[in-house]
Amino acid sequence: MTNLKKYSNLHCCIGIPVKFSDDDIKILRIADISTADWNKNRVNSIGKIYTDPDGGTMLIPVNMEKTPVQSDHDNVGLWVWKENDSSEGYDAVPYSVLHKKINFKYTYYELIFLKTPESPENLRLLVGSDDEFARVLENGIVVPDTFSDNLLVIYDYNEEDFFCVEINKATSCIRYNQLLFVIDKKSLNRYNIKRTDVIDSFDPKYNDLLSENSVDLNRRLIYTKMKISQNDKLDSLSLHTDSARFARYFYHIATRLNYSENEKKLVNKITTEALSNLKLQPILTESTENKQRLEYQIKIINSYLNTDDKVEEFVSGVITHFPKINEEYVAKMQPELNQVLLEQKVALESEISNLNVAIDELNGEILVIKAEKTAETDALKSLRKTVESEGDRERAALKIQIEQELKEFEKDLKKSAVGEIETLKKEQMQALDKECEEFRADQRNIILNDIKFLREEYDNVQNDIALLRVSKEQLQNDISDNQYIREELSKLEQNKSTLEEINEQLKSSCELKLRNIQENPGEFLGDLALFKGLMQSGVPEKTSVASSPNSNLFVQSAKKYGSDPSEIINPKELIDYLIDNLLNIGVSYEYSGILAEFIAGAYFTRTPLLLTGCNANLMAQAISVTLCSQTPEVISVPTGYNDYSSLINIVKNACGNVVILQNVIGSIDEYCYTHLARDIHDENPEKYIIFSLDFAENIRILPSSVLGYMALINSEDVITSIKTEILDPGNCAIAVPVERNLEEVKTLYGRIVDLSRGTSVTNGYNLTRAAIFSAVAKKDRNNEDAALILELGTYCKLLGTADELNQRLEYLSRGDLKEIVEKLLGGK
């Protein structure tokens, strides 16, 4: 997660750049955005996100030297600034500058009034039927030079509500000059937006600030919520329709009244007949009985429309689907609602008055406590001064007394010392004579004792000589034994050389066997599985090691995921959806962007992904839901499987467009997984193959050229947290990837070769990665290098050659890429 402490004092708003001069641009704050959610994983999109400015400076200067983005006049957008004491310190910058660091996406709805090139200026444009409204949108409506990706066009309004139709970035439109043409074949959502939930830039509190420039600004209406409640949703506007669509309203009403199917059809005919032009309608050829039922049903409907108390469900349905009746219903309920609001207002005012009285009482008590604490503090300060002065006086007196006593003690000490010295001299002379006599007697005794001791030592030496003679004989016996041991050692050396020759032969045999395993690991693993089966069954006979061509495959079919998936029509949208879904499954934010571009490039070139680790299936599900709003088709292949034609037929007939093949890599003939994707793409280009390995360490037994056929991602290295959020389904409708520039591909290939040199990969790997990265429209050299090093670091980590990769990066002075390798190895 990004450290946001340094952004804690930032402010954020929706603002309009106002150009007073070439060097003087200020941002008009029309709606503030709370930054309290920036320390969380994602912004809380419930409730009012955009609020009226809370005071302070309404015109924020833009520091043109620090703002790298061109700020066009009257271009509404998101801005951030840091509030300082002086107005020169308001370094306002576009929100897009900090968007990657903050990791929040803010979207807002902008409202505009329905207007055509022929409509009179400043007059309300009235539309009749939905067919007429649809034709107006198709013929082109007037829009500002710049506007939000989420547009709400106001086609009707009253004192309390705006009635709008939604045109967002997913709607098929054509922009020509100041006209917007809706060419979508689908229906458009319509909403009932409260006026109180809309911020108007022509409000007097904004206009008063721009008396000189307000004529140059467009009117901006901003919806205060990021999402529109489903309770505010009206019937959709069907494009390319006729008056028969109105009959569906009454069909829904009849469903609420529990009509039978025949009665619903009859109601449909009645309303179609009643709402259409009678002169243009053909005469119904119905029987007399059916015509009588038609007339009877018309009378029932008319009676329900004239009263509002017989059938509650019917009336509520009519109120919901007909705006004019809705207005009358609201007008009828408005007095009662106003009375309730008035009572709530009086109760709140009374409660506020009581709270103000309690606040005054608390303030009085606080003042009394403060006065008492002040008096106590003054008394303590006075007492402290008195104690300090008395202590200084006592210390000075005590010092003088000690000095006088020291002088008197020195005088007495000198007098007593002279007498004691004379007495001491006499006593020492007497003691010295006595000690000399005692010393002479002691020395005589010591000499006599030493002579006696030397005689005893002579006797001991004679005894030691006799013992040495015995030891000499023993040593001669030991020498003969050592000669025998040396002869035995010589024989052991000869045996050692023989064993070393045998060891060299065994080592050569093992190396040859290891090369055979690396060249054809499928045959080896098949033999191993067969051997395990023989050991478990206890069959002692020699059995053929050929795998059975009729081994059964376990297939887990794909399933539809979610509802109303988003259509993805360009590479940038695919990368954004992949980023969101990778974050949802717990992929680190640091890796989500580069992995999304890497996966998108692999998908465009139909290069299979090799996902390893315990979370491989989770990552595969996120990719499959993003590409085709389905869970992946899972095919588990038994060890030693060799029926390639059967395998390719099962993949071709799979109901899912994303197919996971488990236990394929290293477990069957390598031709199956190196050529499967190409053979599938020839007949089923919509199919995309993903291989999975539960244990990443199995990569070690594969030849290094295998990465020329597939792209490696270890889920355990990139999924760093546990997430439970639901994935966002999508449908990728990108038929052809972006056109490649030959010179850019050559430059990219050279950079990949330079980074991968000395890392045990083949030239096929370099060519495949150049194709993957060049297939993505978004060219970001740093992301490409980071994605390449993330894959190479994973591969070298598994092979144990990460030190060689680090040395290469250090030689290239790429410390940023070296940090990625260190993190993969368990560093900071």
Is the predicted pLDDT of residue 158 greater than 80, yes or no?
A: yes
Higher pLDDT, 418 or 603: 603
Among 11-25, 453-467, 546-560, 805-819, name the one with the lowest average pLDDT. 546-560
Do 629 and 729 contact (CB within 8 A), yes or no? yes
Mean pLDDT of the chain: 76
Asked if residues 680 and 652 have their Cβ atoms less than 8 Å apart, the reply is yes
Average the pLDDT over each of 265-274, 550-559, 760-769 and give the range with the smallest value.
265-274
Checking if the pLDDT of 324 tops 50, the result is: no
Angle at 117 between CA 113 and CA 118, to 5 degrees: 105
23 vs 806, higher pLDDT: 806
Domain locations in the chain as residue ranges:
5-102, 109-237, 243-321, 347-519, 554-824
Helix (H) or strand (E) holding 520: none
781, 789, 784: which is closest to 810 by C-alpha?
789
Cβ(674)–Cβ(520) below 8 Å = no
Residue 803 vs residue 100, higher pLDDT = 803
Query: Mean pLDDT throughout 788-792?
Result: 89
pLDDT for residue 480: 80
Q: Which of 283-287, 439-443, 654-658 has the highest mean pLDDT?
A: 654-658
How many other C-beta atoms are found inside a 10 Å radius of the C-beta of residue 764?
A: 14
pTM above 0.75, yes or no: no
Per-residue pLDDT averaged across 42-63, rounded? 75
pLDDT score recorded for residue 577: 93
Most confidently predicted of 167-171, 187-191, 421-425:
187-191
The answer to whether 163 and 154 have CB atoms below 8 angstroms apart is yes
What is the SS3 assignment for 232-297? HEEEEECCCCCHHHHHHHHHHHHHHCCCCHHHHHHHHHHHHHHHCCCCCCCCCCCCHHHHHHHHHH
Q: Worst-scoring range by mean pLDDT, 142-146, 248-252, 496-500, 642-646?
A: 248-252
Per-residue H/E/C for 697-717: HHHHHCCHHHHHCCEEEEHHH
pLDDT at 337 over 90: no
Pick the closest to residue 783 from 502, 574, 593, 602 (CA basis): 593
Say if residue 6 is exposed, middle or buried (CB neighbours under 10 Å; 0-12, 13-18, 19+).
exposed
pLDDT tens-place string over residues 15-44: 888 887 777 788 888 888 877 777 666 666
Measured distance CA(74)–CA(94) in Å, rounded = 14
Q: Which residue has the higher pLDDT, 545 or 582?
A: 582
Q: What is the rounded CA–CA span in Å between residue 631 and residue 613? A: 19
CB 114 within 8 A of CB 142: no
pLDDT at 624 over 90: yes
Report the alpha-carbon distance of residue 606 to residue 38 in Å, rounded: 38
- Range of weakest confidence among 532-541, 622-631, 764-773: 532-541
Q: Which residue has the higher pLDDT, 603 or 341?
A: 603
Q: Is the pLDDT of residue 340 over 70?
A: no
Q: How many angstroms separate the CA atoms of 416 and 814, rounded? A: 88
Query: Element (H or E) spanning 540, and its range?
Result: none
- Quick check: 45 pLDDT over 90? no
Residue the block writes with tokens 């051997």: 531
Q: Grade residue 550 by pLDDT with cuts at 50, 70 and 90.
A: very low
823 or 303: which carries more pLDDT confidence? 823
Distance CA 484, CA 476 (A): 13
Number of C-beta neighbours around residue 279 at 10 A: 5
Q: Sort strands 141-142 and 59-61 into parallel, antiparallel or unpaired.
A: unpaired
Q: b/e per residue, 660-695, with b = 16+ CB within 10 A?
A: bbbbbbbbbbbebbbebbeebeeebeebbbbbbbee
Please compute the mean of the pLDDT values over residues 421-450 and round it to a whole number. Answer: 77
Mean pLDDT of 69-91: 69
* Backbone angles phi and psi of 651, in degrees to 5: -65, -40
- The residue-averaged pLDDT of 678-690 equals 88
Q: What is residue 305's predicted lDDT score, i.e. its pLDDT?
A: 46
Res 444: pLDDT: 78
Hunting for tokens 């901006």 — which residue is that?
220
Tell me which residue of 155, 162, 168, 26 sits closest to 107, measured CA to CA: 168
From the list 29, 338, 417, 348, the residue with the least C-alpha distance to 205 is 29
Would you state the structure tokens that stand for residue 420, as one six-digit string? 């004691």
Say yes or no to pLDDT of 309 above 50: no
Mean pLDDT (whole number) for 275-299: 45
Percent of the chain's residues with pLDDT above 90: 13
Q: Give every CB contact of residue 77 below 8 A, 6+ residues apart in sequence.
A: 14, 15, 17, 94, 95
The model's confidence at residue 329, banded by pLDDT at 50, 70 and 90, is very low
pLDDT for the residue 71: 65
Mean pLDDT is highest, among 195-209, 380-394, 581-595, for 581-595
Question: What pLDDT is stored for residue 549 in this prediction?
Answer: 42
- Which one is predicted more confidently, 479 or 659? 659
The band of 798, judged by pLDDT with boundaries at 50, 70 and 90, is confident
Q: Average pLDDT in the 268-295 region?
A: 48
Predicted confidence (pLDDT) at residue 578 exceeds the cutoff of 90 = yes
Lowest mean pLDDT among 189-198, 298-307, 641-650: 298-307
DSSP assignments along 648-705, one per residue: HHHHHT-SSSEEEEES-TTTS-HHHHHHHHHHHHHH-TT-EEEEEES-GGGGGGS-GG
Pick 347 or 749 by higher pLDDT.
749
Sorting pLDDT into bands at 50, 70 and 90, what band is 313?
low
The string of pLDDT tens digits covering residues 192-242 is 999 989 988 888 887 777 766 545 777 889 988 888 888 889 988 877 543
pLDDT in tens, 93-112: 887 776 666 666 778 889 99
Tell me what percent of the chain is helix, strand and coil, each rounded to the nearest 5: 55, 15, 30
Is residue 673 very low, low, confident or very high in pLDDT (cuts 50, 70, 90)? confident
What are the pLDDT digits (tens) for 479-534?
A: 888 888 888 888 888 888 888 888 887 788 787 777 777 666 555 554 554 454 44
Of the pLDDT bands very low, low, confident and very high (cuts 50, 70, 90), residue 661 is very high
How far apart are the C-alpha atoms of 264 and 114, rounded to whole Å?
36
* Lowest-pLDDT range of 8-17, 75-84, 171-180, 455-464: 171-180
The confidence score (pLDDT) of residue 756 equals 86
